[in-house]
Amino acid sequence: MSKDPKVQPRYTGIPTFMRTPYAPTLEDIDIALIGVPFDGGVTNRAGARHGPREVRNQSSLMRTINQATGVAPFDLVRVGDAGDAVPDTPFELLAAHKSIEEFYEGIKAAGVMPISAGGDHSVTLPILRALAKDGPVAMVHFDAHCDTGDFYLGSKFHHGSPFKVAAEEGLIDPKKTIQIGIRGGVTDRDIWKFSYESGMRVIHIEEFYEMGLNAVIDEIKQVVGDSPVYVTFDVDGLDPVYAPGTGTPEIGGFTTFEAQQMIRSLADLNIIGGDVVEVAPPFDPSGVTALTGATMMFELLCVSAVSLKRQRGDSTSCENGG
Amino acid sequence: MSKDPKVQPRYTGIPTFMRTPYAPTLEDIDIALIGVPFDGGVTNRAGARHGPREVRNQSSLMRTINQATGVAPFDLVRVGDAGDAVPDTPFELLAAHKSIEEFYEGIKAAGVMPISAGGDHSVTLPILRALAKDGPVAMVHFDAHCDTGDFYLGSKFHHGSPFKVAAEEGLIDPKKTIQIGIRGGVTDRDIWKFSYESGMRVIHIEEFYEMGLNAVIDEIKQVVGDSPVYVTFDVDGLDPVYAPGTGTPEIGGFTTFEAQQMIRSLADLNIIGGDVVEVAPPFDPSGVTALTGATMMFELLCVSAVSLKRQRGDSTSCENGG
Amino acid sequence: MSKDPKVQPRYTGIPTFMRTPYAPTLEDIDIALIGVPFDGGVTNRAGARHGPREVRNQSSLMRTINQATGVAPFDLVRVGDAGDAVPDTPFELLAAHKSIEEFYEGIKAAGVMPISAGGDHSVTLPILRALAKDGPVAMVHFDAHCDTGDFYLGSKFHHGSPFKVAAEEGLIDPKKTIQIGIRGGVTDRDIWKFSYESGMRVIHIEEFYEMGLNAVIDEIKQVVGDSPVYVTFDVDGLDPVYAPGTGTPEIGGFTTFEAQQMIRSLADLNIIGGDVVEVAPPFDPSGVTALTGATMMFELLCVSAVSLKRQRGDSTSCENGG
Amino acid sequence: MSKDPKVQPRYTGIPTFMRTPYAPTLEDIDIALIGVPFDGGVTNRAGARHGPREVRNQSSLMRTINQATGVAPFDLVRVGDAGDAVPDTPFELLAAHKSIEEFYEGIKAAGVMPISAGGDHSVTLPILRALAKDGPVAMVHFDAHCDTGDFYLGSKFHHGSPFKVAAEEGLIDPKKTIQIGIRGGVTDRDIWKFSYESGMRVIHIEEFYEMGLNAVIDEIKQVVGDSPVYVTFDVDGLDPVYAPGTGTPEIGGFTTFEAQQMIRSLADLNIIGGDVVEVAPPFDPSGVTALTGATMMFELLCVSAVSLKRQRGDSTSCENGG
Amino acid sequence: MSKDPKVQPRYTGIPTFMRTPYAPTLEDIDIALIGVPFDGGVTNRAGARHGPREVRNQSSLMRTINQATGVAPFDLVRVGDAGDAVPDTPFELLAAHKSIEEFYEGIKAAGVMPISAGGDHSVTLPILRALAKDGPVAMVHFDAHCDTGDFYLGSKFHHGSPFKVAAEEGLIDPKKTIQIGIRGGVTDRDIWKFSYESGMRVIHIEEFYEMGLNAVIDEIKQVVGDSPVYVTFDVDGLDPVYAPGTGTPEIGGFTTFEAQQMIRSLADLNIIGGDVVEVAPPFDPSGVTALTGATMMFELLCVSAVSLKRQRGDSTSCENGG
Amino acid sequence: MSKDPKVQPRYTGIPTFMRTPYAPTLEDIDIALIGVPFDGGVTNRAGARHGPREVRNQSSLMRTINQATGVAPFDLVRVGDAGDAVPDTPFELLAAHKSIEEFYEGIKAAGVMPISAGGDHSVTLPILRALAKDGPVAMVHFDAHCDTGDFYLGSKFHHGSPFKVAAEEGLIDPKKTIQIGIRGGVTDRDIWKFSYESGMRVIHIEEFYEMGLNAVIDEIKQVVGDSPVYVTFDVDGLDPVYAPGTGTPEIGGFTTFEAQQMIRSLADLNIIGGDVVEVAPPFDPSGVTALTGATMMFELLCVSAVSLKRQRGDSTSCENGG
pLDDT in tens, D22-67: 999 999 999 999 999 999 999 899 999 999 999 999 999 999 999 9
pLDDT attached to residue E153:
82
Sign of CA dihedral A93, A94, A96, A97: positive
CB F128 within 8 A of CB F230: yes
Going by pLDDT thresholds of 50, 70 and 90, the confidence category of residue C176 is very high
CB D12 within 8 A of CB F36: no
CB C282 within 8 A of CB D283: yes
Residue of D nearest to C45 (CA): D47
Sign of CA dihedral B213, B219, B222, B225: negative
CB A145 within 8 A of CB A278: no
CB F201 within 8 A of CB F245: no
Strand partners, D274: D115, D231
- How near does any CA of chain C get to the CA of B50, in Å? 6
Backbone angles phi, psi at B242, to 5 degrees: -90, -20
Going by pLDDT thresholds of 50, 70 and 90, the confidence category of residue A155 is confident
CB D293 within 8 A of CB D142: no
pLDDT attached to residue D315:
58
- What is the radius of gyration, based on Cα positions, of chain C? 18
B194 CB-side CA count, 13 A: 20
**For residue C233, which of C310, C292, C305, C308 has the smallest C-alpha distance?**
C292
Backbone angles phi, psi at F294, to 5 degrees: -65, -40
Least confident among D133-142, D269-278, D307-316, F83-92: D307-316
Q: In whole angstroms, what is the distance from residue A5 CA to residue A23 CA?
A: 15
Torsional class of E74: left (φ above 0), alpha (ψ -120 to 50), beta (otherwise): alpha
Residue of B nearest to D144 (CA): B67
Please report, for residues B158, F59, F172, F256, F273, the alpha-carbon distance to residue F297 in angstroms, rounded to integers and kept in the order given. 55, 9, 21, 12, 11
Q: For residue range A165-206, what is the model confidence (pLDDT) as tens digits?
A: 999 999 999 999 999 999 999 999 999 999 999 999 999 999
Q: Say which residues have a Cβ less than 8 Å from residue C166's Cβ, sequence separation at least 6.
A: C124, C125, C128, C132, C139, C172
Average pLDDT over residues D292-302: 98
Q: Domains in chain E, start-ordered, CATH in brackets?
A: 5-311 (3.40.800.10)
Alpha-helical segments (H) within chain E: 51-58, 73-76, 93-109, 124-131, 162-168, 193-198, 205-211, 213-224, 256-264, 288-311
pLDDT attached to residue C320:
53
Q: In whole angstroms, what is the distance from residue B111 CA to residue B107 CA?
A: 7
Average pLDDT over residues A242-268: 97
Q: Say which residues have a Cβ less than 8 Å from residue D45's Cβ, sequence separation at least 6.
A: B11, C50, C282, D247, D248, D280, D282, D283
Q: Report the SS3 class of residue C127.
A: helix
Q: In whole angstroms, what is the distance from residue F112 CA to residue E48 CA?
A: 38
Q: For residue range E92-143, what is the model confidence (pLDDT) as tens digits?
A: 899 999 999 999 999 999 999 999 999 999 999 999 999 999 999 999 999 9
pLDDT attached to residue F143:
98
Q: Say which residues have a Cβ less than 8 Å from residue D301's Cβ, sequence separation at least 6.
A: D18, D31, D33, D73, D79, D115
Comparing D89 with A14, the larger pLDDT belongs to A14
CB F220 within 8 A of CB F183: no
Q: In whole angstroms, what is the distance from residue A200 CA to residue B210 CA?
A: 68
Q: Report the SS3 class of residue E276.
A: strand
Q: How does the average pLDDT of chain A come out, rounded? A: 94
Quickly count: other Cβ atoms within 10 Å of residue E1's Cβ: 13
CB E31 within 8 A of CB E305: yes
Backbone angles phi, psi at D18, to 5 degrees: 55, 25
DSSP string covering A192-255 = THHHHHHT-EEEEHHHHHHH-HHHHHHHHHHHHTTSEEEEEEEGGGB-TTT--SSSS--SS-B-
Q: Report the SS3 class of residue E221.
A: helix
pLDDT attached to residue C315:
58
Chain A residues 271-310 within an 8 A CB cutoff of chain E:
285
Residue among C256, C286, C322 whose CB faces A189 most closely = C322
**Does the beta-carbon distance from E13 to A84 stay under 8 Å?**
yes
Amino acid of residue F135: G
Longest C-alpha distance within chain F, in Å? Answer: 59
Q: Report the SS3 class of residue B199.
A: coil
- How near does any CA of chain D get to the CA of B266, in Å? 17
F285 CB neighbours in chain E (<8 A) are 285
For B239, which DSSP code?
-
**Does the beta-carbon distance from A8 to E86 stay under 8 Å?**
yes
Asked if residue E175 has pLDDT above 50, the reply is yes
> Most A CBs within 10 Å: which of B89, B91, B123, B155, as the mutation test of the A interface?
B91
**Does the beta-carbon distance from C9 to A153 stay under 8 Å?**
yes
Q: For residue range C121-154, what is the model confidence (pLDDT) as tens digits?
A: 999 999 999 999 999 999 999 999 999 998 888 8
Q: For residue range C49-87, what is the model confidence (pLDDT) as tens digits?
A: 999 999 999 999 999 999 999 999 999 999 999 999 999
- How near does any CA of chain F get to the CA of D287, in Å? 11
CB F269 within 8 A of CB F307: yes
Q: What parts of chain B have a pLDDT lower than 50? A: 1-2, 317-319, 321-322
Asked if residue A317 has pLDDT above 50, the reply is no
Torsional class of F102: left (φ above 0), alpha (ψ -120 to 50), beta (otherwise): alpha
Strand partners, B180: B142, B203
Quickly count: other Cβ atoms within 10 Å of residue C26's Cβ: 17
| Orientation of helix B288-311 relative to helix B256-264, angle to 10° | 10
Measured distance between the N- and C-terminal CA atoms of chain A, rounded to whole angstroms = 26
F239 and chain A: CB distance < 8 Å anywhere?
yes
**For residue A193, which of A170, A165, A219, A164 has the smallest C-alpha distance?**
A164
Q: Is D226 annotated as a binding residue?
A: no
E206 and chain D: CB distance < 8 Å anywhere?
yes
CB D288 within 8 A of CB E244: yes
* pLDDT above 70 coverage of chain E, percent: 97
Sign of CA dihedral E281, E287, E291, E292: negative
Q: For residue range F101-137, what is the model confidence (pLDDT) as tens digits?
A: 999 999 999 999 999 999 999 999 999 999 999 999 9
pLDDT attached to residue F322:
42
**For residue C292, which of C250, C258, C248, C269 has the smallest C-alpha distance?**
C258
Q: In whole angstroms, what is the distance from residue A140 CA to residue B48 CA?
A: 35
Backbone angles phi, psi at C86, to 5 degrees: -80, 125
Strand partners, A193: none
Going by pLDDT thresholds of 50, 70 and 90, the confidence category of residue C202 is very high
**For residue E235, which of E191, E172, E281, E176 has the smallest C-alpha distance?**
E281
pLDDT attached to residue D171:
98
Return the H-helix or E-strand segment holding E233. strand E228-234
Asked if residue A152 has pLDDT above 90, the reply is no
Q: For residue range F290-301, what is the model confidence (pLDDT) as tens digits?
A: 999 999 999 999
Average pLDDT over residues F17-35: 96
> What are the strands, taking DSSP E only, across chain F?
31-36, 65-66, 79-84, 113-118, 137-142, 172-182, 185-186, 201-204, 228-234, 270-277
Q: In whole angstroms, what is the distance from residue C158 CA to residue C46 CA?
A: 12
Cis check for the bond before D13: say yes or no (omega within 30 of 0). no
B206 CB-side CA count, 13 A: 12
Asked if residue D319 has pLDDT above 90, the reply is no
Strand partners, A232: A141, A275
Q: In whole angstroms, what is the distance from residue B176 CA to residue B227 CA?
A: 8
Q: What share of chain B is helix, strand, coil (3-state, %, to 5)?
A: 40, 20, 40
F149 CB neighbours in chain E (<8 A) are none
Q: Is E234 annotated as a binding residue?
A: yes
Please report, for residues E180, E238, E289, the alpha-carbon distance to residue E292 in angstroms, rounded to integers and kept in the order given. 18, 10, 5
Amino acid of residue C310: R
A1 CB neighbours in chain E (<8 A) are 24, 83, 86, 103, 106
E32 and chain B: CB distance < 8 Å anywhere?
no
In this complex, the chains that touch C, judged by 3 or more CB pairs closer than 8 A, are A, B, D, F
> Exposed e or buried b for every residue in A249-287, given b needs 16+ CB within 10 A?
bbbbbbbbbbbbbbbbbbbebbbbbbbbbbbbbbbbbbb
Residue among E1, E9, E22 whose CB faces A14 most closely = E22
